[in-house]
Amino acid sequence: MQEVFTMSTVASIKQAIKDDPANAEFTAKGWDPLFHVLPSATILVISQAPGRIAQDTATYFNDASGKRLREWMGVTREEFYDSDKVAVMPLDFYYPGKGKSGDLPPRKGFAEKWHEPLLEQMPNVQLKLLVGQYAIKYYLGRKRYKTLTATVQNYTDYLPEFFPLVHPSPLNYGWQKRNPWFQTDVVPDLQARVRKAFD
């Protein structure tokens, strides 16, 4: 009974997001807000905003960034989408458009309005992945280091609740080459913690 009530609440929040005047242009396009929240989730991916392909296909992380993120997590596509263990909650639930270098940042004020009621629907989350600088800044605030690199390198400072990560976008492949410790030290620990949350 509790689960039915919770999912009903998630549906009502989704409708409220669509009805929000700030999202009128997206609703007019027939876009649904992209997120995945359910009471059985043990892992929460907090990201910045859907990419163009994700929005076009109505499937979060359905692009090169999603493939790389799943590789870092050590999960299959089926586990990511169908296990009922992984939730996804971006700072902005709509594709914000194209910027000069990559996508535009998520809109301000959106997470402040909707994250708290959605978090209340996920009582079993054990690990929150903060994907990219915007999610890290929003959730870690002054606790983060001066640079994204230093924050990710010192990720253990934020465990067991948060696991900060660089964004898996192809735009950051150069960063990964310059920081080989990420693949050798951070990724294996991330995979172990994800698997523990799965089990």
Cβ proximity of 124 and 39 under 8 Å: yes
| Amino acid identity at 96 | P
Determine the Cα–Cα distance for residues 16 and 124; give it in Å rounded to an integer.
24
Q: Is the pLDDT of residue 102 over 80?
A: no
Is the pTM higher than 0.85? The answer reads yes
* pLDDT score for 6: 62
Q: What residue segments make up the domains of the chain, in order of their start?
A: 2-198
Q: Using one digit for the tens of pLDDT, what is the confidence trace for 179-192?
A: 999 999 999 999 99
Q: Using one digit for the tens of pLDDT, what is the confidence trace for 53-72?
A: 999 999 999 999 999 999 99
| Amino acid identity at 151 | T
Beta strands in 47-179 (DSSP E): 86-88, 127-131, 162-165
Q: Report which of 89, 106, 88 is spatially closest to residue 97, judged by C-alpha positions.
A: 106
3-state secondary structure of 26: helix
Second-level CATH architecture of 2-198: 3-Layer(aba) Sandwich (3.40)
3-state secondary structure of 120: coil
